[in-house]
Amino acid sequence: MNNFLSIYNLDHNLIQSFIKSAAETKNSKSDDDLNFANGKILASIFEKPSTRTRLSFDVAMRKLGGQCIIIDQNELHLGNNKESITDTAKTLSQYVDIVMYRSQSHESLQKLASFSKVPIINGLSDFSHPCQAMADLLTIYEKKSGFEGIKVNWIGPITNVARSWIEIANLNLGIKLKIFSNDYSISEYHKKCEIYKIKPDLDNMEVHNNLKKLDSADVVITDTWESMGETVNEKIIKNFSSYTVNQEMMRIFGDECIFMHCLPANRGQEVTPEVIDGPQSVIWDEAQNRLHIQKEIIKWCL
């Protein structure tokens, strides 16, 4: 069964074929996949808010001819010790063909997948956000015509999106990832890996806590400093103050460098409005690509 839980469960060739197929389908006028999911139902479960993931999965499923049921956690017995994840997984498997789950904890996602008889998609957990990272890859593929030799700089906290990017960097697609973060966030990364029994893997990339090491790049990515469900105090925010992506940094990266952000963004904190709304920003292509990549993910799972 094809679960889409993490990038590191996938291989180089599969990722390449996802991206190529998404790019082709996006640009094709053909409606070949119009009936792909005919008669199939996707359940999307949300334990955290969402705009892009919620809408793009719903629209993707409909465009493939299927149907979608969207459920917020407070509408289920799941959580608050009312019904276990095991019983929820077994129940869902009786009714729907595929489940997309935005979970508070990666452990719940892993459990749901291990007890479910239908494929499970990670729609963001506290550990990773593989659907977002795949849409980011599609955006880079379109803007930079491939991955070989592409220099990607991640600036700021090592969030769920960053962890999916670390997994991408380990796939040998030719992308060179540099992470610029502070010591607190790097040690938190190691702690999270320990909690979810995932091997920390920063060997294939450069990790810096010194912004003086910034130099030219093809892509710069950042994310909110306060991820959903996290308590980030003033001290942490202050320690990140020099990590705001601004025009000065963009000059170092160069005119050809594109700026990416998964959204929602906190303008003025992790990025200045001039950069996120400026000519080098590709955030709206990235948001649109969520739809095209979700279609590929659903097709693979089904």
Give the residue numbers annotated as catalytic, written as ranges.
102, 129, 132, 223, 262, 290
Q: Which residue in 147, 156, 146 sits closest to 178, CA to CA?
A: 156
Interaction pattern, residues 111-130, with ligand CP; x per rule: CB under 6 A: -------------x------
Residue tagged 């008669």 (tokens): 39
Residue ranges in contact with ligand NVA by CB under 6 A: 124, 159-161, 223-224, 227-228, 262
Instruction: Tell me: does residue 164 bind ligand CP (CB under 6 A).
Output: no
Q: Which does 223 bind (CB under 5 to 8 A by kind): ligand CP, ligand NVA, none?
A: ligand NVA
Taking the complex as a whole, the smallest distance from the CB of residue 54 to ligand CP amounts, in Å, to 6
β pairing state of 120-122 and 219-222 = unpaired
- Residue 270 contacts residue 225 (beta carbons within 8 Å): yes
Whether 105 and 49 have beta carbons less than 8 Å apart is answered as no
Please identify which residue in 40, 52, 163, 292 interacts with ligand CP, judged by CB under 6 A. 52
Query: Which of residues 262, 271, 291, 293 is near ligand CP by CB under 6 A?
Result: 262
Backbone angles phi, psi at 29, to 5 degrees: -90, -5
How far is it, in rounded angstroms, from Cα 19 to Cα 296? 8
Contact (Cβ atoms closer than 8 angstroms) between residue 189 and residue 163: yes
Site residue total, ligand CP (CB under 6 A): 8
Is 271 a residue that touches ligand CP (CB under 6 A)?
no
293 near 59, Cβ under 8 Å? no
Please give the distance of CA 249 from its chain centroid, rounded to a whole number.
24
* Min CB(19)–ligand CP separation in Å: 18
Residue type, 117: K
Which DSSP letter does residue 75 get? G
In whole angstroms, how close is the CB of 97 to ligand NVA at the nearest point? 25
Closest CB to ligand CP among residues 168, 182: 168
Read off the DSSP letter of residue 257: P
Q: Which of 59, 263, 265, 302 binds ligand CP (CB under 6 A)?
A: 263
For residue 51, the partner it binds in ligand NVA, ligand CP, none, with Cβ less than 5 to 8 A by kind, is: ligand CP
Contacts with ligand CP, residue ranges (CB under 6 A):
50-53, 124, 132, 262-263
